[in-house]
Structure 1
Amino acid sequence: MKPLILISGTAAGLVLCLGVQASSHREAPQITETPKVDATDFYMFKSYEAGRQDYVTLIANYLPLQDPYAGPNYFTLDDDAIYEIHIDNDGDAQEDITFRFNFTTTVRGVELDINGEPVAIPLIQAGVIGPGINDTQNLNVLETYTVTMIDENRDNGRASAITGLFSSSEDFAKPVDNIGNKTLPVYASYANGHTYDVSIPNCSDGRLFVGQRKESFVVNLGETFDLINTNPLGPVDGEPNTLAEKNVTTLALEVPATCLTNGSDPVIGAWTTASVRQVNVVNPSPVKRSAVIHGGSYTQVSRLGSPLVNELVIGLPDKDRFNHSEPEDDGQFATYVTNPTLPALIELLFPSAPAPTQFPRGDLVSVFLTGVKGLNQPVNVQASEMLRLNTEIPAVAAASQDPLGVIAGDIAGFPNGRRPGDDVVDISLRVVMGVLLDEEVAPAGQAAFTDGAYVDALQFDETFPYLVTPLPGSPN
């Protein structure tokens, strides 16, 4: 890796990296072909629900841009994939703890008697579902999952099942997507019933939820990618949230902070990945859901720590490589951080906003690869991209959170982890253009850049899993 210039002191406490601009929807060519394993957002923060201040919440969202009305087949996850959340608690850029999610989809084969002949129905439901989690007699497709905690290396570490705190069961039910108000008249109650108190191996209790939620990322997406076809100095809340009518699938886990740290360093790093089998063969005679036969070893195809790293930092030739890579090998991508192209693109589009002229960009490197010294940098750190959190910094209640996080003095927010209400777009636009640099090397550094779309913590729930009830397919 090229030499990295790091900044320290008070200024370092305010640094944010170029890579954390937004959310990773369709960020690389290959992943667009397999949306079920496309990670869209990753959150990690001290739980701010009342009475849960000793816990850390981990949220990995997958399967982007879900239209609520997308029947008759909705948004199941991939039975043949593995979804994982990794924790590095000693700064060496390798996972020390992995939480692995495996899914099973069962087609029940609901039939109707048609003139004495049993005939399979064409839908995933044959009547009302809920409000209880066991009120599923009319549900034709069931999703269940298991969660395994793996110590040390995810390939050959010690694996133990997370179980229900009261049932001791290793199997958990995923609620069906929000088909509509006639099928699921009280969806919020039905879905919330799928929040489980769980026993975490070699630790204590935690909570678990997997299911559809309303898309949590807020951005003026279309205009942003149309060469920033908006006013970057316009009013906040002056532009629409392009994703306001979409849903997403959430994997949420709440774990005691002491279970995630190594006992001597309060800083942890984390990222989420998805892996699939190397071989996929189209089945010429599929039965039920076996249209594709999978085989071979697993290979990682999705990776997400800080959001939008792959979309707006990594160059087009290396996007698929980044998704397949491990943090310990991030030296191969260092030039994209030390010599970023996004500020130059902004200058091309808006000549009155010149890009910073200081290189290498040590102000970006600090958070992007090491964590900020004095805020969330591990005691011993190998430069690598991931989301980092200082678990000793107390959570801030939703009503008191500042959407601009650390640069506004709220050090419990981004880039010290990431909460749902942190406005990472506006923060990052300002930092990438040099808000933390001297004026002579960053003439536009003090401009209040924004995408115009507003977000704050009060747009979300104040209790686990924090992301709100998904939009219904009907009425729509």
Structure 2
Amino acid sequence: MPSTALQRLTKRATLTAVGAAGLATLAAMPALASSHREAPSITGSPKVDGTDFYMFSSYEPGRAGFVTLIANYQPLQDPYGGPNYFKLDPNALYEIHLDNNGDAKEDITFQFQFKNNFKNIKVPVGNQMVGIPLAQAGTVSQPNDAALNVNEQYTVNIVRGDRRTGSVAALSKTTGGSVFDKPSDYIGTKTLGNKAAYDTYAGKHLYNVNIPGCAIAGRVFVGQRQEAFAVNLGTIFDLVNAPIAVITDPALINAAAANSIQDKNVTTLALEVHKSCLVQGSETVIGGWTTASVRQSQLANPNPPPGHGTAGNVGGAWVQVSRLGMPLVNEVVIGLADKDRFNASQPRNDGQFATYVTNPTLPLLIDLVLKSDPNYPGVNIAPSNFPRLDLVNTFLTGIKTNLGPNGSPLNLNQPANVVASEMLRLNTAVAAVPFAQQNRLGVLGSLLTDGGADLAGYPNGRRPKDDIVDISLVAMMGGLCRANASNALGFGAACNPSVVPLGDTAFKLHDAVDQAVVPLLPGFPYLNTPNPGAK
């Protein structure tokens, strides 16, 4: 970051406050990759493995005032992964939780449950009718197409209050009915046509919905999408295995594009709800996270009967096995011994994980591996302001500074009565920014750009275009403290430029994959058409 940008922190009060918010939550966003296979136990249950959670003010033209919630599951799907492909688990409960009063407990929960309707299509072979081995018996173009051997359907409930004991009501189509069809995964162009044809087919599964207790209808879509998260995944997990000269050169921001994961697909659960249905009273900030739960008892059936998915029996209470709010705390911050425990935990109990944020290991691991680089500066490059209380405060509460006009508070996304907890927070009072004008570095990008005014991105919620890897690298390696000279951002005297050995180079860090060039849709459900299994 050039010195002029640092000077801008103190000369422009409003922009400075925005930068503080961005850098603060970045520092508090310790994840450097999407939540793919992040904990030991979840690796064996990909159908309930949450990969990404997005929450943002809708920027589709004509949708001002709406909030989009997106939860992705089933990581790293190979498009050709047939013949069963990637149906969701009919014995699982997928949920999106919202806290609208800051008490670290869900006030609204949207519950998704799935059912596989097996048709057992048979064809004549000689004088016998024999069941086919594939998911389809011909081309597919309509919801619940006759050629689909298994049709996947789902319901959506809204729960107000505790997720298990609150009041429950079903979402319904504005045209009638409360059971929704999920489109087939993109098997290939022979079955489902080219991209335009699949878009038309998938679009028939986008529903306008009545939401009980809400005066304005919303929208829902569940289906396969192209992986939208740009990350040099192998390099990141190999302790940022890239030369310092590459990851600190802004001109090489997309040098490793071929190593990203856009050739994979995910399964998306997307909801669009008017903000008036989500907020409580005068509080405009909501917190959100997604979870998946399975039944406590799961028994293998030694003699499965004919049918679909008959190899086991389940029962008992729901047990949470996946949790995702901020990207990606559990992936690269929580210690290996506590990863399964984090996935089973609730935000109100997050104090048990505080040490992983006050004393984060990732900067030290990066420092360790980069020592072999010929351009290594010769000193430890990890920030040294332990405990990292600046990160704890920002990560667990949302951002509120004293850098508004005349030293007044400037609130980005902190609830008035916040209880410290990990979740993605969005200030619904901040207007959406059109896609073309979005800064890929969100709030931080507004700080670094003269005239930048994008307050609607990460860490104030998360949009598909927000480059959380680069933002997090900057923060974890000292960007917040580098910008906090004379405690300009209000994060404490111990967080200052002297504890950042990288100096202004910390502001140039990236993983050589540019989130801004990932193909996305201009409107709901925003994530792009999935990759076909065959062309």
Shared fold per TM-score greater than 0.5: yes
For the Cα contact (< 8 Å) 2:160–2:166, is it kept in 1? yes
Kindly provide the CA deviation profile for residues 213-258 of structure 1, in whole angstroms up to 9, marking residues without a partner as x.
0011110001111121113224100112431210000000000011
SS in 2 for 1:182: helix
2:528 maps to which residue? 468
The answer to whether residue 157 in structure 2 is matched with residue 148 in structure 1 is yes
2:200 maps to which residue? 189
Query: In the superposition, relative to structure 1, how do residues 458 and 51 fare at CA in structure 2: closer, same or farther (>3 Å)?
Result: farther
Q: Which moved more, 1:100-109 or 1:239-248?
A: 239-248
Q: Which runs of 5+ in 2 are unaligned?
A: 1-15, 372-376, 401-410, 447-453, 482-495
1:443 to 501, 511, 518: 501
> In the aligned structure 1, how far is the partner of 2:166 from the partner of 2:76?
35
> In the aligned structure 2, how far is the partner of 1:458 from the partner of 1:80?
33
The answer to whether residue 286 in structure 2 is matched with residue 268 in structure 1 is yes
Q: Which moved more, 1:175-184 or 1:287-296?
A: 287-296
Kindly provide the CA deviation profile for residues 337-392 of structure 1, in whole angstroms up to 9, marking residues without a partner as x.
11111111111122436111112213322332110111100001111000000000
Bigger CA radius of gyration: 2
SS in 2 for 1:258: helix
Q: Which runs of 5+ in 1 are unaligned?
A: 1-7
The answer to whether residue 229 in structure 2 is matched with residue 217 in structure 1 is yes
> 1:213 corresponds to which letter in structure 2?
R
State the shift of 1:187 in Å. 1.2
2:119 maps to which residue? 108
For the Cα contact (< 8 Å) 2:97–2:108, is it kept in 1? yes
> In the aligned structure 1, how far is the partner of 2:18 from the partner of 2:462?
20
2:254 maps to which residue? 237
State the shift of 1:22 in Å. 2.6
For the Cα contact (< 8 Å) 1:76–1:143, is it kept in 2? yes
SS in 1 for 2:504: coil
The answer to whether residue 420 in structure 2 is matched with residue 383 in structure 1 is yes
Q: Which moved more, 1:349-358 or 1:121-130?
A: 349-358
2:266 to 248, 260, 263: 248
> 1:314 corresponds to which letter in structure 2?
I
> In the aligned structure 2, how far is the partner of 1:271 from the partner of 1:19?
16
> In the aligned structure 2, how far is the partner of 1:457 from the partner of 1:419?
14
> 1:443 corresponds to which letter in structure 2?
P
1:117 maps to which residue? 128
Counterpart mapping for 1:41-440 below 5 A: 41-130=52-141, 132-134=142-144, 136-167=145-176, 169-185=177-193, 186-203=197-214, 204-231=216-243, 232-234=247-249, 235-240=252-257, 241-286=259-304, 287-288=306-307, 289-351=309-371, 352=377, 354-373=381-400, 374-409=411-446, 410-437=454-481, 438-440=496-498
Query: In the superposition, relative to structure 1, how do residues 67 and 195 fare at CA in structure 2: closer, same or farther (>3 Å)?
Result: same
> 1:277 corresponds to which letter in structure 2?
R
> In the aligned structure 2, how far is the partner of 1:12 from the partner of 1:96?
29
Q: Which moved more, 1:442-451 or 1:154-163?
A: 442-451
SS in 1 for 2:395: helix
> In the aligned structure 2, how far is the partner of 1:418 from the partner of 1:366?
19
State the shift of 1:122 in Å. 0.7
SS in 1 for 2:129: strand
For the Cα contact (< 8 Å) 1:364–1:432, is it kept in 2? no
> In the aligned structure 2, how far is the partner of 1:291 from the partner of 1:466?
36
2:20 maps to which residue? 12
The answer to whether residue 32 in structure 2 is matched with residue 24 in structure 1 is no
Aligned-residue RMSD, C-alpha: 1.4
For the Cα contact (< 8 Å) 2:218–2:273, is it kept in 1? yes
State the shift of 1:443 in Å. 2.1
> 1:467 corresponds to which letter in structure 2?
L
> In the aligned structure 1, how far is the partner of 2:36 from the partner of 2:294?
18
> In the aligned structure 1, how far is the partner of 2:240 from the partner of 2:471?
16
State the shift of 1:458 in Å. 6.7
For the Cα contact (< 8 Å) 2:330–2:339, is it kept in 1? yes
1:4 maps to which residue? none
For the Cα contact (< 8 Å) 2:102–2:419, is it kept in 1? yes
> In the aligned structure 1, how far is the partner of 2:68 from the partner of 2:435?
14
> In the aligned structure 2, how far is the partner of 1:400 from the partner of 1:163?
35
State the shift of 1:57 in Å. 0.1
> In the aligned structure 2, how far is the partner of 1:10 from the partner of 1:440?
22
> 2:358 corresponds to which letter in structure 1?
T
State the shift of 1:445 in Å. 4.5
What TM-score results when the alignment is normalised by the length of structure 2? Answer: 0.85
State the shift of 1:457 in Å. 7.1
State the shift of 1:446 in Å. 2.2
Q: Which runs of 4+ in 1 moved over 4 A?
A: 8-11
State the shift of 1:18 in Å. 3.6
> 2:464 corresponds to which letter in structure 1?
P
> In the aligned structure 2, how far is the partner of 1:445 from the partner of 1:217?
28
What TM-score results when the alignment is normalised by the length of structure 1? Answer: 0.95
For the Cα contact (< 8 Å) 1:433–1:445, is it kept in 2? no
Q: Which moved more, 1:252-261 or 1:112-121?
A: 112-121
> In the aligned structure 2, how far is the partner of 1:220 from the partner of 1:344?
20
For the Cα contact (< 8 Å) 1:403–1:457, is it kept in 2? no
> 2:433 corresponds to which letter in structure 1?
V
State the shift of 1:336 in Å. 0.6
Query: In the superposition, relative to structure 1, how do residues 260 and 445 fare at CA in structure 2: closer, same or farther (>3 Å)?
Result: farther
SS in 2 for 1:440: helix
- Structure ranking higher in helix proportion: 2
> In the aligned structure 1, how far is the partner of 2:17 from the partner of 2:264?
41
SS in 2 for 1:280: strand
> In the aligned structure 2, how far is the partner of 1:332 from the partner of 1:40?
23
State the shift of 1:20 in Å. 3.8
% identical equivalent positions? 55
Query: In the superposition, relative to structure 1, how do residues 466 and 10 fare at CA in structure 2: closer, same or farther (>3 Å)?
Result: closer
State the shift of 1:70 in Å. 0.8
> In the aligned structure 2, how far is the partner of 1:10 from the partner of 1:52?
25
